[in-house]
Structure 1
Amino acid sequence: MLKAGGAATALMLLLLLPLLCCCHRCHSLEVPKLSSCAKAEDKLFKYLFGNYQKWVRPVDHLNQTIRVKFGLAISQLVDVEWTDMKLRWNPEEYAGITIIRVPSDRIWRPDVVLYDNSDGRFEGTITKAVVKYDGTITWTAPANYKSACTIDVTFFPFDLQNCSMKFGSWTYDGSQVDIILEDFHVDKRDYFDNGEWEIVKATGSRGLRMDGSTSYPTITYFFIIRRLPLFYTLFLIIPCIGLSFLTILVFYLPSNGGEKISLCTSVLVSLTVFLLVIEEIIPSSSKAIPLIGEYLVFTMIFVTLSIVITVFAINVHHRSSSTHNDMAPWVRRVFLHHLPKLLCMRSHVDRYATSGAARTRGLGMAEGSEPELTPLFYTRQNLKAALDSIRYITMHVVKENEVREVVQDWKFVAQVLDRMFLWAFLLVSILGSALLFIPVIYKWASIIVPNHETMVFGN
């Protein structure tokens, strides 16, 4: 224990030795004196802020107007410039100091705020302001503004939005603080590209907000932004269009299996999921419904209709003479003779001609004249019994053929229905896709071409 304690004491002494040496050396150094420039700046601050009141408007006369120059850069910087009559000095009296930097919360600032903000924060970050000897103050405050904007999602995800941000003084009218637009165009040099939106145009304008007989100058910046649609096109638009065309294959499947209903149900569930995804992405509004949403709802209605048609086609496919009445003449005429020609299907007339000829031949053998038979082999009674048996067999075969023909007729009607709705759904899908993309392509062309021409003439 003693050895351990002695070792700890020795280690502490070794550690304290450099510290004592440093302290001794520090005491031996003299405190440097302030330079003449530092003394002058200190004297200047005492002169300027000795009796300064930041709550009082810095003017020489009460009816004098402060001109505030306002500018905006998209890199989250707000440039504000004005003249403070109380913060002026002669540089020759203060060692040639022409510029000082003062915390912005120590001086008077124009209460310029964003009127249509959405987060409740009206002011920017408190940073230092640059004060010149003539009283000109430049305050570049970083700010993260969130403004409310009315979104038009009609052409989502190929939409173009026009948003505005209105700035103005909260308490001072135009006779006290006049806001001047420094630059018509918004500075975009330090702007970082966004992966979802692209700024097409950003401009500013000066206006007046009237409150009775009092006018309040305002600065409004307009931002025209365009959504970059590549992500939504690959993962939303193309799958939706593919699902809509997948509905067409329902009418190409045979009706004797249960795959038709399964495919319809799967497509309907998939479209419902995509509709919920779109509802989560876009803001809820009843003023504008996106075209892609209308297209999905329209496709869902047709898929539901295809389920009803498929059930009816399967029912027609399994009809027979024992379960249903005879086919109506107009059904036979329309679905067995006229529609197959229009739908590029094999005609049903040839099969009737072949079956009728076979039936005629069969009946001819049964009802024809009795064959001449020699009495060496058959007696007259045996011949009559044989003819009765042949007649019975022939009638039975003819009846079976008629039943089989009825079943085949109903199956052919089901095939005609499938082919008819296949072409109908194909036409509707093509027209729906065209109506979805033609307005979008036209709108994008009207935006991109003028911008390209402006860039060419600008260069």
Structure 2
Amino acid sequence: MERGWPHEKGFLFSLILHLVLQGRGDTSINCSGFDRHGVDPAAFQAVFARKAFRPVLNCSSPTHVNISFTLSAILEVDAHLQLMTSFLWLNVIWHNPFMTWNPEACGGIRKLSIAAENLWLPDIFIEEFMDVDQTPPGLMVYVTNEGRIKYDKPMQVISVCKLDIFYFPFDQQNCTLTFGSFVYTVENMVLAMEKDVQEISNTSLSLIRSHGEWVLLSIHQRAKKMVVGTNQYDQIIFHVAIRRRPSLYVINLLVPSSFLVAIDALSFYLPAESGNRAPFKITLLLGYNVFLLMMNDLLPASGTPLISVYFALCLSLMVLSLLETVFITYLLHLATTEPPPMPEWFHSLLLLCTCPGKRCPTAPHKEQKGLALTPTHLPGLKEPVELVGKMPRCGQAEPKEHPESTRAQREHEAQEQHLVGVWVQFSHMMDTLLFRLYLLFLVSSILTVTVLWTT
């Protein structure tokens, strides 16, 4: 046992000395016979033994790592959790000075594929990553005779994305993917672009597989140095611009809502005297509430998008139109039962609005019999059966009345009929005025929301 320990110690010293001398001397790999007998694993054992260390001849010189990626699918965008799930191919390229050989001495071999687990790999990670890296094992790297190593890594990335859903469903989002190292500072690793960002964007647009809810618009890039204490880390930030396809939400949300609001506006043409307008508007209001409850799952679970404001606005307009119908119905009921006296100035203003530029009589005169409205011409009024019962039948003598009392009674009835007609006219004028205000507010609100969506 005492003699074995120095012998083993000398063997370890010789192995370390051999590795050190190999690092200082010729770093090329002896690949003679690869074209006849295949790749000899023993030729790469010295390089494989160094995989725990950064492959540089001088430890003070940084390793230059070039990165690029191809976005092949946008799987999901969760507005509630503020997450974007995408699938991409990460391309990492760096130089290993210990993986060089002479292709003329190796039968013209210029490129080899080696298991990635046997080599040093840069610790490139995505800062916004929110899940465990599920990269499949057993990946390969391509090595050229000049020591250029290319590592392609498929990744399903669940990354944080700050979403602005105010313009839903016509929204565009800008998600970031920040690539960097969490071990090596700028003194040890420098990041650069392998491809131009425009080429990355064009390749992703042509190869993207997903045709779901989101569409890729463009990819932009910028470099940044992250400072943590006294250390600086190189980073490359990619801005991925995506847009939502709004057709599903337009067909299922906006079109039915617009139809219900249009029907509510057209219901103003129903005669208020018939008593059918108010029940019709109540039915529309209940139907609109059921529609909102059914379509609630299509709306974002967090935030207040503009479409929610639009739905609340449509619901408020339908409630206001119902209140307007109730008010007009009350005025007509008041006019046909117990019409209160109308002030002269209000009566004059009403006549000015209804008969502009003309002199309309303010009260029925004794000689003008056709100016007063009869009950049969007033909407919502029935025949005065009490007057019909007082008319003499055939063969029955008319009761003798005093001429002065009959004339006073007729004048009183004419004044009452005129007052009823004025109140009915005022009710129709208010109905028209409120309907125009309703249309004005409806059109201006829809135009405002449309302008906000398009800008």
TM-score, normalised to structure 1's length?
A: 0.71
Match of 2:354 in 1: 340
Aligned to 2:3: none
Tell me by how many angstroms 1:270 deviates.
4.6
Q: Which residue number corresponds to residue 233 of structure 2?
A: 216
Residue 239 of structure 1 corresponds to which residue in structure 2? 256
CA distance in 1, matches of 2:71, 2:365: 83
Alignment of structure 1 residues 141-152 onto 2, 5 Å: 141-152=153-164
Q: Secondary structure at the match of 1:318?
A: helix
Go from structure 1 to structure 2 and tell me whether the alpha carbon gap of 1:40 and 1:136 turns closer, same or farther (over 3 Å shift). farther
Shift of 1:400: 4.4
Given that residues 129 and 138 in structure 1 are in contact (C-alpha distance below 8 angstroms), is that contact kept between their aligned partners in structure 2?
yes
Q: Which of 55, 59, 62 is 2:52 aligned to?
A: 55
Whether contact under 8 Å (1:100, 1:130) holds in the other structure is yes
- Please state whether the residue corresponding to 2:190 is helix, strand or coil: strand
Corresponding letter in the other structure for 2:127: Y
2:451 counterpart (438, 443, 446): 438
Check conservation: 1:268, 1:304, Cα contact below 8 A.
yes
Report the alpha carbon displacement of residue 269 of structure 1 after superposing the two structures with TM. 3.8
> What's the counterpart of residue 90 of structure 2?
78
What's 2:312 paired with?
297
1:319 match: secondary structure:
helix
**Quick check: 1:86–1:135 contact (8 Å CA) kept in 2?**
yes
Which of 61, 64, 68 does residue 67 from structure 1 map onto?
Answer: 64
Q: Which runs of 5+ in 2 are unaligned?
A: 1-32, 73-87, 373-397
Instruction: Quote how far apart the aligned CAs of 1:356 are.
Output: 7.1
Counterpart of 2:369?
A: 358
Distance 1:202 1:355 in 2: 87
CA, structure 1 residues 301+395, in 2 after alignment: closer, same or farther (shift >3 Å)?
A: same
One-letter code aligned to 2:368: A
Which of 106, 109, 114 is equivalent to 1:97?
109
* Partner of residue 31, structure 1: none
Match of 1:325 in 2: 340
Counterpart position of 1:172: 184
Deviation at 1:211, TM superposition (A): 0.7
**Do residues 268 (structure 1) and 265 (structure 2) align?**
no
* Paired letter, 2:369: A
Gaps of 5+ in 1: 1-35, 362-383, 444-459
Paired residue secondary structure (2:99): coil
Tell me the distance in 2 between the aligned counterparts of 1:146 and 1:341: 71
Match of 2:325 among 287, 297, 310: 310
Q: What is the CA distance between 1:149 and its match in structure 2?
A: 1.8
Change (3 A) 1:439 1:64: same
Q: What pairs up with 1:182-201 in 2 under 5 angstroms?
A: 182=194, 183-185=196-198, 186=200, 187-188=203-204, 189-192=206-209, 194-201=211-218
Counterparts of 2:337 and 2:299, CA distance in 1: 56
**Residue 421 of structure 1, CA deviation:** 1.1
- CA drift at 1:248: 2.1
Structure 2 residue aligned with 1:410, among 413, 423, 433? Answer: 423
Question: Deviation digits for residues 303-362 of structure 1, max 9, x if unmatched?
Answer: 22222221111111111475453334444334x3133358x9xx994695478723999x
The CA distance in 1 between the partners of 2:284 and 2:256, in whole Å, is 11
Is the helix fraction higher in 1 or 2?
1
| 1:32-66 deviation digits (Å, cap 9, x = unpaired) | xxxx75774341x2321465253332223332321
Residue 74 of structure 1: SS of its match in structure 2? Answer: strand
Amino acid at match of 2:132: R
Q: What is the CA–CA distance in structure 2 between the aligned matches of 1:436 and 1:211, rounded to whole Å?
A: 45
Distance across 2 between alignment mates of 1:341 and 1:140: 84
Does the 8 Å contact 1:252/1:419 carry over to 2? no
How has the CA–CA distance of structure 1 residues 135 and 415 changed in structure 2, closer, same or farther, with 3 Å as cutoff?
A: same
Q: Cα distance 1:354–1:79, how it changes in 2: closer, same or farther (>3 A)?
A: farther
Check if 1:250 corresponds to 2:264. no
After superposition, the Cα gap between the structure-2 partners of 1:123 and 1:114, relative to the gap in structure 1 and judged at 3 Å, is farther
Q: 3-state SS of the aligned residue for 1:415?
A: helix
Report the CA distance shift for 1:385/1:60 in structure 2 as closer, same or farther (over 3 A).
Answer: closer
Q: State how far apart, in whole Å, the 1-side matches of 2:197 and 2:269 are.
A: 62
Q: Distance in 2 between matches of 1:360 and 1:314?
A: 25
Kindly indicate whether the alpha-carbon contact (under 8 Å) linking 1:184 and 1:205 is maintained by their aligned counterparts in 2: no
Task: Indicate which of 207, 229, 247 corresponds to 2:246.
Answer: 229
CA 1:216–1:196 in 2, change beyond 3 Å: closer, same or farther? same
- Cα distance change, pair 359–438 in 1 and its aligned pair in 2 (3 A): closer
1:78 CA displacement:
1.3
Letter in 1 for 2:58: H
User: When the two structures are superposed, what TM-score results if normalisation uses the length of structure 2?
Assistant: 0.71
| Residues 170 and 122 of structure 1, relative CA distance in 2, 3 Å threshold | farther
What is the rounded CA distance, in whole Å, between the counterparts of 1:227 and 1:392 in structure 2? 81
1:221-240 deviations in Å (ceiling 9; x for gaps): 11222333344334433333
Structure 1 residue aligned with 2:132, among 121, 124, 132? Answer: 121
The worse-fitting range, judged by mean Cα deviation, of 231-240 and 306-315 is 231-240
- State the superposition RMSD in angstroms: 3.5
Kindly tell me the number of residue pairs found equivalent between the two proteins: 377
Distance 1:38 1:48, change over 3 A: same
1:41 paired with 2:38, answer yes
Change (3 A) 1:328 1:88: same
Residue 166 of structure 1 and its aligned partner are, at CA, apart by 0.8
Letter in 2 for 1:60: L
Q: In structure 2, what is the Cα distance between the partners aligned to 1:273 and 1:201?
A: 40
The DSSP-based 3-state class of the residue aligned with 1:236 is helix
SS at match of 1:304: helix
Supply the AA of the counterpart residue of 1:177.
M
Query: CA 1:426–1:359 in structure 2 vs 1: closer, same or farther (change >3 Å)?
Result: closer
Q: Is the 8 A contact 1:245 1:429 kept in 2?
A: no
1:106 aligns with 2:102: no
CA apart distance, 1:146? 2.6
Matches of 1:272 and 1:110 in 2, distance apart?
57
Matched AA of 2:173: Q
